[in-house]
């Protein structure tokens, strides 16, 4: 019987529990043993039954309606070093695991792909140092890896949505609705900072959904003077028409076209000094990642979990590691390494001020 393990890694995202639940149950349904790795890559580095646990069908009961990730997640520096990955390989073999499904962001999936690429040399070293037996070396020649994308940022190229993004978006919209009510009472302006790292998806979509007055995102930067003038023009036009509220959404990664970060404090200053508005800053922070997943994320995570199990069972030593995506409402398989590379190239394009390229790369949905 094959043994399939799942872990969640990097920043947590609502819907990760649905993903783990679907993976555990699909694996068992397909006649495999199901394992979970606790605390992301730290669990691999620590090893042992406390960190690499076999799960039964009942162990994931009710998980779809729980937020966060019940199997824990962590950032793990040791796994970035070869020695950490060597321990990880040893512990997976000791637990009898054949395949690993990682639910995380681009960092976690980069680590996963590296782990698979290095696997033959890792197990050769383990054998040489008598840390595994000859039989184990033969039995665990290949490690099948598959990625599912858990991230509130929706920042992975090649997939239309990542697990958790619509839940975070929903939370942001609700929070802005709350702020709007008090803004209206006092005729105030609010600058709302939202998460997303280098990606403006959450800020842009929240801005559309709440009809914000102005949105600042990393993919479409302008000079300081330009955005300030444009924002002031738009806000004063709205105010002249009798609007009592002003909402400006600032993405975490918002920048000017000289790559200077734009902070909520910068926006606050402009609204106060140029327009004389009574202005407050609201930083939503971790509220955005918390709470339960919206129905869309639960469904996405469940469907992708089933496909991830199918994918690891189909993968042969010669096929590239798959990443489970969604494109035009269909669950699809992409090359994990290409998806990660394309995602990184968006950040690189932004940093080299090639904003047009960044936009076009973000729009890329298919890799041939
Ligand atoms: P995310 O997956 O949300 O992008 P991080 O970038 O923090 O989050 O990555 C999560 C974890 O994945 C890291 O703490 C580390 O253990 C592992 N990881 C990230 N990048 C690499 C890498 N280049 N090589 C090996 N492991 C990595």
Best mutation site among 42, 44, 111 for ligand 1 pocket (most ligand atoms within 8 Å of CB): 111
Q: Dihedral through CA 53, CA 59, CA 60, CA 65, nearest 10?
A: -120
Instruction: Give the pLDDT confidence of 161-195 residue by residue, as tens digits.
Output: 999 999 999 999 999 999 999 999 999 999 999 99
Feature table: binding site for Mg(2+) = 106
DSSP-based three-state secondary structure for 363? helix
129 by Cβ neighbours in 10 Å (0-12 / 13-18 / 19+) ranks as exposed
The verdict on the CB of residue 111 being under 6 Å from ligand 1 is yes
Q: Is the predicted pLDDT of residue 367 greater than 70, yes or no? A: no
The verdict on the CB of residue 238 being under 6 Å from ligand 1 is no
- 45: Cβ contacts below 8 Å, ≥ 6 apart: 76, 78, 79, 84, 87, 88, 91
Best mutation site among 7, 10, 37 for ligand 1 pocket (most ligand atoms within 8 Å of CB): 10
Instruction: Give the pLDDT confidence of 16-28 residue by residue, as tens digits.
Output: 999 999 999 999 9
Instruction: Give the pLDDT confidence of 28-55 residue by residue, as tens digits.
Output: 999 999 999 999 999 999 999 999 999 9
DSSP-based three-state secondary structure for 308? helix
Position 363 scores a pLDDT of: 62
* Token pair 């998460």 in the structure block, residue: 195
Nearest CA to ligand 1 atom 10: 10
End-to-end Cα spacing for the chain: 34
Q: What are the DSSP calls for 111-147, one per residue?
A: HHHHHHHHHHHHHHHHHHTTSS-HHHHHHTS--EEEE
Instruction: Give the pLDDT confidence of 114-130 residue by residue, as tens digits.
Output: 999 999 999 999 999 99
How many whole angstroms from 258 Cα to the centroid of ligand 1? 28
Examine the predicted complex and report whether its ipTM is higher than 0.95: yes
The verdict on the CB of residue 344 being under 6 Å from ligand 1 is no
- 12: Cβ contacts below 8 Å, ≥ 6 apart: 68, 69, 73, 150, 164, 289
Active site residues: 153
DSSP-based three-state secondary structure for 100? strand
pLDDT band at 356 (very low <50, low <70, confident <90, very high): confident
């Amino acid at each position: 019987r094959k043994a399939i393990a799942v872990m969640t890694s990097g920043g947590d995202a609502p819907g990760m529990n649905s993903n783990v639940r679907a993976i555990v149950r699909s694996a068992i349904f397909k006649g495999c043993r199901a394992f979970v790795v606790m605390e992301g890559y730290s669990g691999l580095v620590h090893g042992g039954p406390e960190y690499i646990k076999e799960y039964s069908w009942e162990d994931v009961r009710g998980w779809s309606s729980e937020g966060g990730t019940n199997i824990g997640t962590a950032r793990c520096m040791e796994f970035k070093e070869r020695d950490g990955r060597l321990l990880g390989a040893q512990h997976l073999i000791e637990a009898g695991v054949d395949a690993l499904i990682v639910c995380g962001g681009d960092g976690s999936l980069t680590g996963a792909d590296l782990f698979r690429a290095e696997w033959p040399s890792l197990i050769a070293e383990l054998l040489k140092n008598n840390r595994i037996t000859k039989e184990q070396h033969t039995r665990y020649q290949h490690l099948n890896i598959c990625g599912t994308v858990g991230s509130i940022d929706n920042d992975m190229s090649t997939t239309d949505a990542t697990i958790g993004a619509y839940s975070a978006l929903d939370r942001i919209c609700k929070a802005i609705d709350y702020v709007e009510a008090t803004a209206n009472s006092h005729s105030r302006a609010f600058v709302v900072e939202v998460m997303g790292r280098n990606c403006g998806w959450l800020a842009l979509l929240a801005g559309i959904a709440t009809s914000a007055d102005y949105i600042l995102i990393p993919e479409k930067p302008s000079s300081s003077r330009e955005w300030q003038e444009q924002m002031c023009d738009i806000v004063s036009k709205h105010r002249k028409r009798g609007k009592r509220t002003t909402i400006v959404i600032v993405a975490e990664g918002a920048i000017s076209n000289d790559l200077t970060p734009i902070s909520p404090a910068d926006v606050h200053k402009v609204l106060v000094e140029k327009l004389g508005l009574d202005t407050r800053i609201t930083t939503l922070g971790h509220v955005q990642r918390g709470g339960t997943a919206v129905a869309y994320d639960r469904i996405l995570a469940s469907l992708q979990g089933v496909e991830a199990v199918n994918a690891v069972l189909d993968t042969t030593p010669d096929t590239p590691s798959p990443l489970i995506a969604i494109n035009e409402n269909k669950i699809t398989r992409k090359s994990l390494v290409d998806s990660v590379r394309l995602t990184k190239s968006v950040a690189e394009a932004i940093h080299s001020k090639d904003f047009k390229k960044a936009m076009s790369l973000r729009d890329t949905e298919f890799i041939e």
